[in-house]
Structures are given as structure tokens and as C-alpha cells.
Amino acid sequence: MGAFELKYSVQRQELWNYYWWAWRQPDGLWIYWLIFSLAALALGWLWASISETTNLFEATALICLTGACFFVLFPQLAYKPQERSVTIDADGIDTTIGARSGHRGWADISSVTSRGDSIILMVSGGTRLLPGLWLLTRVGNAFIIPNRAFKGAEQRQEFLGSAQNWHRPHAQKFPALSTKRYLA
């Protein structure tokens, strides 16, 4: 199997659809919201306990509302409408948007998923717990490759099959502990 190179732009609606889909998955982005909400409850309790004018409900609601706005708006604010080039091969994924380029090995991809309107290559990442110790999770970042990036259904199926075959030997279980933020 040879390399695949695609050029396309992601539209805001595709980005929104991806995040909504990723949020609803059993191990999806809702987990981050839950963790954030528990942290907001703790901060709300602390804020309410030192403030004479704020109660626990007001403080927690304000923090949760601010967080919800961040979770919804950040992907849209960080959105890159420029055309991108994505090349996949046995070594991983190379991508270029404008003057910026990067590489991810297959070990840094947490899943390869076919959706009706796109193929999703979900990126894993790390959160530093202690110096030299990272918690690797599915971070929500992804290569969203819409169906219109392919010349047709046959090319899409070949791309998907190749990506799954190249990813399979490197697939990781998440969450996991590591001494590095990225595996590849």
C-alpha cells in the first residue's frame, strides 16, 4: 500500500459536527466536562466560603457557564479555514496548513473512525501529572477528513482501510501512563 495525499479545507459546520459527535462517545469529551464541573464545584465552594456575598450555587454556576462557553467557543476560535495537505503512509500522518507542518506517528493516533460524512483520525495527547509522568488520553483533537476530500467512494475506502491497517499494530489503550507526552 502506498501513501495517500489529500488536499481539502474543513468547514466550521464539519468541525462543530465532529465535536458534538466526540462529546457523545462513551469515552468522549463529556469526561473532560465532568472533570471540569467537579473542579468548578470545588472552586465554587472555596469562593463561596471566603466571600460574604456569593453563595455556592452562584459561584459554581458562573464557573460552569464560563467553562461551557470556553468548551464550545475554543474550537471555533482556533478553527483554521485554510486548505490543508494530509499525507498518510506506514510511518504516520504528515500535515501542512500554510507554512506550518507537522508529523504524527500512528502510536499518537488513538482511533481511526469512519463516520457517514467523514473519516476521523483521533489524536491522543498527554497531560503532565508530575515531572516525567504523563497521562495519555484521547484529547479531542483530530484530523477531520470530509468525504469531499476524496475523488470517490473507492478512494475513501482504500484510504480508510490503509489507515486502519497502519494504525492497528500501534493502537494503544487509553487512558495510559507514559514518561513522554507523545508516543511516536
CB of 118 within 8 A of CB of 18? yes
CB of 22 within 8 A of CB of 130? no
What torsion, rounded to 10 degrees, do the Cα atoms 148, 152, 154, 160 define? -10
So where are the chain's domains? 4-10+82-178
pLDDT at 168 over 80: yes
Task: Give the span between the Cα atoms of 152 and 175, in whole angstroms.
Answer: 35
**Domain at 4-10+82-178: CATH architecture:** Roll (2.30)
List, in sequence order, every residue forming a beta bridge with 135; answer none if it has no partner. Answer: 127, 177
List, in sequence order, every residue forming a beta bridge with 177; answer none if it has no partner. Answer: 135
CB of 155 within 8 A of CB of 139? no
Question: In terms of pTM, does the model score above 0.85?
Answer: no
Mean pLDDT of 62-68: 80
Predicted confidence (pLDDT) per residue in 2-39, tens digit: 899 999 999 988 988 888 888 777 767 777 777 777 88
